[in-house]
Amino acid sequence: MLDLFGDEAPWVEPLAEGAVILRRRARQQGAALLASIAQIAAQHPFQHLITPGGYRMSVAMTNCGDLGWSSGRRGYHYSDVDSFNGRRWPAMPQGFLLLAQQAAQEAGFTDFQPDACLINRYEPGARLSLHQDKDEKDLRQPIVSVSLGLPAQFQFGGFARGDGVQRLLLEHGDVVVWGGPSRLRFHGILPLKPGEHPLAGPYRYNLTFRRAR
């Protein structure tokens, strides 16, 4: 939809049972969210983690909240410290927490209590291949994913890697929530197309809120 003014009201798009896109839901908070990301990254720099297979991830990551997601040769895990500097992750900003809880509520998930916020930074060409979020202890809690900056193609699939996927363009301020019967659906991001965003420059950022423990 043409949006010359950037002030259209959010709208809701169902994705699957237990999954929804809240279009532009976080748009008016975009600048504040990006400012918080910059503050966090000043102390906990974005890093390109290594997968268990030994590959450098094209997406750069940092975290806030009690627990942070990480990857290394030995596998994936949540940790309360940043391996870069051995210090605890910064607290989740209140604006992050409120947004995540409100978005979850609007998607039908009450009492979402995220303790982990993974912050992903995509540069042109960066991707996240199809995967499941399944390292969390309580799979009754949903995933809340906030898109900022450059647009990207999101893949939302089924329960096996080879199942068909929906492709959805996620733009600045879009919030995807999935849980319940959709909690273990495969999802990913196709290689980011180069561009320039007025607030985020040449990047796409994603906040992924989870209850990890």
Partner DNA sequence: AAGTCGCC
Partner DNA sequence: TCTG
Q: Is 115 in the site for DNA (CB under 7 A)?
A: no
Q: Nearer to DNA by C-beta: 131 or 137?
A: 131
Q: Nearer to DNA by C-beta: 12 or 169?
A: 169
Alpha helices (H) in 15-145, listed in sequence order: 30-43, 94-106
What is the maximum alpha-carbon separation in the chain? Answer: 48
Strand, coil or helix: 32: helix
Q: Is 69 in the site for DNA (CB under 7 A)?
A: yes
**Contact of 16 with 182, CB cutoff 8 Å:** yes
Report the nearest approach of DNA to the CB of residue 187 (Å). 9
Q: Is 159 in the site for DNA (CB under 7 A)?
A: no
29: tokens are 């908070």
Q: Is 56 in the site for DNA (CB under 7 A)?
A: yes
Report the nearest approach of DNA to the CB of residue 196 (Å). 12
Footprint of DNA on 23-42 (CB under 7 A): none
The whole-angstrom separation of Cα 134 and Cα 210 is 11
The whole-angstrom separation of Cα 59 and Cα 61 is 6
**Contact of 189 with 122, CB cutoff 8 Å:** yes
Cβ-proximal residues to 55 (8 Å cutoff; 6+ apart), any chain: none
Q: Nearer to DNA by C-beta: 32 or 190?
A: 190
**Contact of 81 with 173, CB cutoff 8 Å:** no
Report the nearest approach of DNA to the CB of residue 186 (Å). 8
The whole-angstrom separation of Cα 139 and Cα 142 is 7
Report the nearest approach of DNA to the CB of residue 28 (Å). 19
150: tokens are 């450059």
Residue 131 assigned ligand-binding role: yes
Q: Nearer to DNA by C-beta: 32 or 81?
A: 81
Q: Is 58 in the site for DNA (CB under 7 A)?
A: yes
* Annotated binding-site positions: 69, 76-78, 120-122, 131, 133, 135, 161, 187, 204-210
* Interface residue list for DNA (CB under 7 A): 51-53, 55-59, 69, 71, 74-76, 127-135, 151, 153, 161, 165, 167, 169, 171, 188, 190, 193
* Annotated binding-site positions for Fe cation: 131, 133, 187
